[in-house]
Amino acid sequence: MSTPAVILAVGIAMIFFVALANLVLYQYAAGAVRAALDQGVRAESYAGAAPGMCQRGIEETLDALLGGSYGDRVVATCFIDPTGPTVVANATALFPSIALWVPDYTFVASARAVKEVAP
């Protein structure tokens, strides 16, 4: 093989590798947001749980799983739906791309848990 062909093949392989690494990063980050929402609603769903446990649980889990600046664009909210009563957590996230030619990933998720009532 000639040198230009080798350079072209290696360049195409690197583009594919970066796109694949970006996809893996997006999937991990989306899973971390889902896990944080589940942890948050689980923390506040217990009978006698202090108000704000949901938000605290989400923030602690996100800090543990998405440390650094990658999780800075995750906005999560919690509230108790009185009709259920259920604890509801919603999150919107924007994950930046690691390559200029790969688009950023916007992600929306929610989680619910039934609020226990003390006897």
What would the pLDDT profile of 15-50 be if each residue is shown by its tens digit? 899 989 999 999 999 999 999 999 999 999 988 888
> What is the DSSP-derived secondary structure letter of residue 109?
E
Task: Indicate if the pLDDT at residue 90 is higher than 70.
Answer: yes
Helices (H), 1-119: 3-45, 53-65
Q: 44: closest CA among 32, 68, 60, 31?
A: 60
Token pair for 100? 């200029």
Q: 81: closest CA among 48, 54, 59, 108?
A: 54
Do residues 12 and 95 lie in contact, with contact meaning Cβ atoms separated by under 8 Å?
Answer: no
